[in-house]
Structure 1
Amino acid sequence: MLRRLLFLGLVVAFVWVVHSRFDEIRDLTATLLAGRWPWILSAILLQIVYWVSYALLFRASFAVVGVHSPLRSLIPLVLASVFVNSATPSGGTGGIALFVDDARRRGQSAARAAAGMLLVNIADFGSFLVVLTVGLVILLLLHDLVVYEIVTAFLMYTYVGVMVAVLLLGLWRPDRLRRLLKRVQQGVNRVGAWLRYPTILDENWSDNNSREFEAAANQIAAHPDRLLEMSGIGLIAHVINICTLYSIFLAFNIKGSLGIIIAGYAMTRLFWIISPTPNGIGIVEALMPVVYTSLGLETAGATIITVAYRGISFWFPFVLGFFLLRR
């Protein structure tokens, strides 16, 4: 009964998102129909390869913590998590819950699955920092690096740095990690009390998260080669995305150097991750035409690239993820 109610709520969320973004979806359809279909098809096929490689990253990360996850079951989960994280105000925890619940139903450890999700984020975001650094250097050389890009990039580096630091703390000083997370929990709930919501983080939050960090840290220490494998898969996935973006440039006969394409992808992904809205909905669509225009593209071309890439890399998986959710 509870699962049916939750699914009904997600159906409502799906309808609301599609309705609120209907104009963007209509523009996406018109834009893709205007492109050269061999290159549009190439971009779509590359995205299929990307999602398979992203699922491989999940499988490798789960293997590190001793959770066996078949690739055929991970691909639908990865796509479904795109929908759940975008349509619900869960701060990314909704997607995590899908993987943890799947592991539990297959007789695997839910706690280890949660630790595996942490490794996924570290490998994914850590490998993205390589692409981001290259993109920032390109923007700097083109004298096109602006304040909001610098600030957002700083937040990205800080976010990954904090995850790595907490992971190391879980390896070397687990008792300090537990105390640190306990203070964070108390501080967040104190702020929540001012807003008449004193239990933003439940009483088990610090203990559960400290165990996840400790488990992930110990597994990485025991298998350091696995971290390189995960980072390699993550980097390959980002290269596939860059190739997708290149295909879209070709689909609409828009000239762009390799530097512009890499910098454009780096900024797209940056505003996708560091955003006040889930998966950068509305933010990416608003900022990326400005970024591409500053890199020398005409306004019309910048808008086309943004709409087409965003549609193929996000909206298609979003819709597909909704229909795969029942699985």
Structure 2
Amino acid sequence: MLRRLLFLGLVVAFVWVVHSRFDEIRDLTATLLAGRWPWILSAILLQIVYWVSYALLFRASFAVVGVHSPLRSLIPLVLASVFVNSATPSGGTGGIALFVDDARRRGQSAARAAAGMLLVNIADFGSFLVVLTVGLVILLLLHDLVVYEIVTAFLMYTYVGVMVAVLLLGLWRPDRLRRLLQRVQQGVNRVGAWLRYPTILDENWSDNNSREFEAAANQIAAHPDRLLEMSGIGLVAHVINICTLYSIFLAFNIKGSLGIIIAGYAMTRLFWIISPTPNGIGIVEALMPVVYTSLGLETAGATIITVAYRGISFWFPFVLGFFLLRRSLLRNSGDEALPI
């Protein structure tokens, strides 16, 4: 019953997102129809390879913490998490809940699955920093690096740095990490009390998160080679995305050097991750034409590249993720779901 009610809520969220972005979706359809189909098809096939490789990253990360997940189960979950994280005000926790719930239903440890999700983020974002650094260097050499790009990149480096620092703290000083998270919890709830919502973080938040960080840190320390494997998979996934973007340039006969394509991808992904909206909805679409124009593309070409790449890499998985989530929720309607 809970899963059916949850699904009805997600249907409402799906309709709302599609309605609010209907003009963008209509422009996407018209744009793709105007492109050269061999290259459009190439971009779509590359994205299929990307999502498979991204699911492999999840499988490798879960294996480190002792959670065994078949690839055929992870691919639908990865796509469903795109929808959940975009359509619900969950701050990314909705997607985590999907994987934790799946592990629980298959008799695996939910706590270890949560620790595995932490490793996914570290490997994914850590490997992206390599691409981001190359992109920033290209922009710097082209004298095209502007303040908002520098600030957003700084936030990205800081975010990954904090995750790594907390992971190391969980390995070397778990008690200190627990106290640190308790202070964070108290501070957040104090602010929440001013807003008449004193339990933004529940009383178990600091203990649960400290255990997840500690478990992830210990597993990485025991298997450091696994971290290299995960980072390698993450880097390959980003290279596949760059190839997708290159295919889109070819699909619309838009000339762009390898440097422009790498820098464009780096900025697209950056504004996708560091954004006030889920998955950069509205932000990427607004900023990337400006970035491409500053790199020498004509305004029309910059807009076409942004719309086409965003559609293939985000909107297609978003819609597919909704239907995959629908199938999962209705199939398991007799089992109580974790809150998303």
**TM above 0.5:** yes
CA distance, structure 2, for counterparts of residue 278 and residue 202 of structure 1: 23
CA distance, structure 2, for counterparts of residue 244 and residue 326 of structure 1: 28
Structure 2 counterparts to residues 144-223 of structure 1, below 5 A: 144-223=144-223
Deviations 1:7-38 (A, max 9, x none): 10000000000000000000000000000000
User: Higher relative contact order at CA 8 Å, sep ≥6: structure 1 or structure 2?
Assistant: 2
Deviations 1:257-300 (A, max 9, x none): 00000000000000000000000000000000000000000000
Deviations 1:96-115 (A, max 9, x none): 00000000000000000000
Structure 2 counterparts to residues 1-327 of structure 1, below 5 A: 1-327=1-327
Deviations 1:24-56 (A, max 9, x none): 000000000000000000000000000000000
Shift of 1:3: 1.1
CA distance, structure 2, for counterparts of residue 268 and residue 197 of structure 1: 35
CA distance, structure 2, for counterparts of residue 4 and residue 158 of structure 1: 40
**Secondary structure, counterpart of 1:6 in structure 2:** helix
**Secondary structure, counterpart of 1:326 in structure 2:** helix
Shift of 1:236: 0.1
Shift of 1:2: 1.2
CA distance, structure 1, for counterparts of residue 151 and residue 16 of structure 2: 32
Shift of 1:251: 0.1
CA distance, structure 2, for counterparts of residue 114 and residue 134 of structure 1: 31
Structure 1, gaps ≥5 residues long = none
RMSD: 0.3
**Secondary structure, counterpart of 2:326 in structure 1:** coil
**Secondary structure, counterpart of 1:79 in structure 2:** helix
Deviations 1:217-276 (A, max 9, x none): 000000000000000000000000000000000000000000000000000000000000
CA distance, structure 2, for counterparts of residue 7 and residue 198 of structure 1: 29
CA distance, structure 2, for counterparts of residue 275 and residue 213 of structure 1: 24
CA distance, structure 2, for counterparts of residue 3 and residue 176 of structure 1: 38
**Secondary structure, counterpart of 1:89 in structure 2:** coil
Structure 1 length as normaliser, TM-score?
Answer: 1.00
Deviations 1:111-140 (A, max 9, x none): 000000000000000000000000000000
Deviations 1:135-180 (A, max 9, x none): 0000000000000000000000000000000000000000000000
Structure 2, gaps ≥5 residues long = 328-340
- Percent of aligned positions that are identical: 99
CA distance, structure 2, for counterparts of residue 3 and residue 25 of structure 1: 29
Deviations 1:282-321 (A, max 9, x none): 0000000000000000000000000000000000000000
Shift of 1:92: 0.2
CA distance, structure 2, for counterparts of residue 64 and residue 250 of structure 1: 39
- The ranges of structure 1 where at least 4 consecutive aligned residues each deviate by more than 6 angstroms after the TM superposition are none
Give the length in aligned residue pairs.
327
CA distance, structure 2, for counterparts of residue 193 and residue 171 of structure 1: 33
Aligned to 2:337: none
CA distance, structure 1, for counterparts of residue 261 and residue 272 of structure 2: 16
**Secondary structure, counterpart of 1:200 in structure 2:** coil
Shift of 1:326: 2.7
CA distance, structure 1, for counterparts of residue 221 and residue 70 of structure 2: 24
CA distance, structure 2, for counterparts of residue 247 and residue 102 of structure 1: 35
CA distance, structure 1, for counterparts of residue 3 and residue 308 of structure 2: 35
CA distance, structure 1, for counterparts of residue 36 and residue 26 of structure 2: 18
CA distance, structure 2, for counterparts of residue 225 and residue 313 of structure 1: 30
CA distance, structure 1, for counterparts of residue 186 and residue 3 of structure 2: 31
CA distance, structure 2, for counterparts of residue 195 and residue 259 of structure 1: 47
CA distance, structure 2, for counterparts of residue 74 and residue 184 of structure 1: 32
CA distance, structure 1, for counterparts of residue 121 and residue 205 of structure 2: 19
CA distance, structure 2, for counterparts of residue 5 and residue 203 of structure 1: 27
CA distance, structure 1, for counterparts of residue 204 and residue 8 of structure 2: 29
CA distance, structure 2, for counterparts of residue 294 and residue 186 of structure 1: 45
CA distance, structure 2, for counterparts of residue 326 and residue 247 of structure 1: 31
